[in-house]
Amino acid sequence: MNFTEIKGLDEAYVLQTYGRNQVAIDHGQGAVLWDTEGKQYIDFTSGIGVCSLGYANEAWAKAIYDQAMKVGHISNLFYTEPYARLASRLAPAAGMAAAFFGNSGAEANEGMIKVARKYSYEKYGEGRATIITLKNSFHGRTITTLKATGQDHFHEFFFPFTEGFRYAEANSMDSLMAAAGDDVCGVMMELIQGEGGVNPLDQDYVRAVAKLCAERDWLLLADEVQTGVGRTGSMFAFQQFGVQPDVVTFAKGIAGGLPFGGFMVNEKCRGVLRAGDHGSTFGGNPMAAAAANVVLDTLTPDFLEDVKRKGQYLRDGIAALGSPYVSGIRGMGLMVGVGIQGMTHRELKDKLMAEGLLCLTAGADTLRLLPPLVISREEIDQGLAVMAKVMGA
């Protein structure tokens, strides 16, 4: 099918919930994608931080195929090797005790919220269920994670929302103290607010929050759905902030493109969720877990160092454009936000796409770049050349 045919079916038969780019992607290789009309693009999106190994990665595809030919799915009423092996590698790499596997970021955050509430309920009884989240955050699209999201426009239409969330200004301990109370059981945050505009939290603030959580026995809940699994140049972003959360979620990049997510808890929270408290039909699916094991094979310490260097290379390259449209450059590793002035971030994204570079937007004015973690310097250079052409001095 060509673009027009695909778009016609979409408009006729699919709910129109996305502001889609006017392109149908057909296939890819490394950090390069081709659309159905044969046009080639450098990819600075990797889905939305999902395809960490790029496209058509042989080891990834083979692991999925091999597992599909052994057993593609079996319920969690049985043990299987791929998820067990994955947990045994991921938990130590994060300094956590144990993992739960599900299918998406929102679902992972729901599980994390359940851990915080049950931990507090069992230790302190009722009335201590409130979770403080940060303004401008994004935590997902379910009724509960919409409410956890600290942006008013996500709190429309779908009433009644789940109760028990209060919002604090990011990077302000005063605001956090104002939201504090006897009813609080946890503080939930993204170390870098992704959808909100690629805004890294201040190190000092994150450490102060962790200290307060420890003092009051609130759980520190890290939403690393976007920042986790190598995106920022460490296995998890919290490792570069000098804190250790009680619970951390992950999803987007974990399985390199298959739907997969979950959370990990520390020793203190290991016993909170017991048989019957939580579950997922698809969670820990053998094919997805096999794919995730290939992602972990790839994320060696050397590879992660190179993610940091490539991120710096990309940020330096954007700074060197001397573009009048750039108001600031933020981010860590291969999670990069470029503040845009003089045109809207969406206009710029469309112009870059027309010239063969795929980018994302975030917040009100940010061009968001989440290239595959395996992107080469040559591919980064090709992307920068498009940026120079569209937005250079």
Ligand X SMILES: *Cc1c(COP(=O)(O)O)cnc(C)c1O
**Chain contacts with ligand X (rule: CB under 6 A):** 104-106, 109, 138-140, 190, 194-195, 223, 225-226, 251-252
Least distance in Å: CB of 221 to ligand X? 11
Judged by beta carbon, residue 225 or residue 290, the one nearer ligand X is 225
Q: What does the longest C-alpha to C-alpha distance in the chain come to? A: 61
Judged by beta carbon, residue 43 or residue 107, the one nearer ligand X is 107
- Nearest alpha carbon to residue 311 among 290, 333, 344, 328: 333
Separation CA 47–CA 64 (nearest Å): 19
**What does each C-alpha distance from 200 to 62, 133, 203 come to in angstroms?**
36, 15, 9
- Nearest alpha carbon to residue 337 among 313, 369, 311: 369
Judged by beta carbon, residue 128 or residue 231, the one nearer ligand X is 231
Least distance in Å: CB of 108 to ligand X? 8
Q: Do residues 340 and 368 touch, judged by C-beta distance below 8 A?
A: no
H-state helical runs in the chain: 3-13, 46-49, 58-71, 81-94, 105-124, 143-148, 173-179, 203-216, 286-298, 301-320, 345-354, 377-391
Centre a 10 Å sphere on the Cβ of residue 303 and count the other Cβ atoms it contains: 14
Judged by beta carbon, residue 30 or residue 371, the one nearer ligand X is 371
* Bond prior to 245 in cis (omega within 30° of 0): no
Least distance in Å: CB of 189 to ligand X? 10
Separation CA 391–CA 393 (nearest Å): 7
Judged by beta carbon, residue 225 or residue 314, the one nearer ligand X is 225
Q: What is the CA radius of gyration of the chain?
A: 21
Least distance in Å: CB of 111 to ligand X? 12
Least distance in Å: CB of 40 to ligand X? 27
Q: Which residue is nearest to ligand X (CB)?
A: 105
Separation CA 322–CA 129 (nearest Å): 49
Judged by beta carbon, residue 191 or residue 290, the one nearer ligand X is 191
For residue 337 the two structure tokens come to 């936000």
Judged by beta carbon, residue 225 or residue 287, the one nearer ligand X is 225
Least distance in Å: CB of 159 to ligand X? 21
Judged by beta carbon, residue 90 or residue 222, the one nearer ligand X is 222
Place of tokens 């692991």: 63
Least distance in Å: CB of 109 to ligand X? 6
Least distance in Å: CB of 114 to ligand X? 15
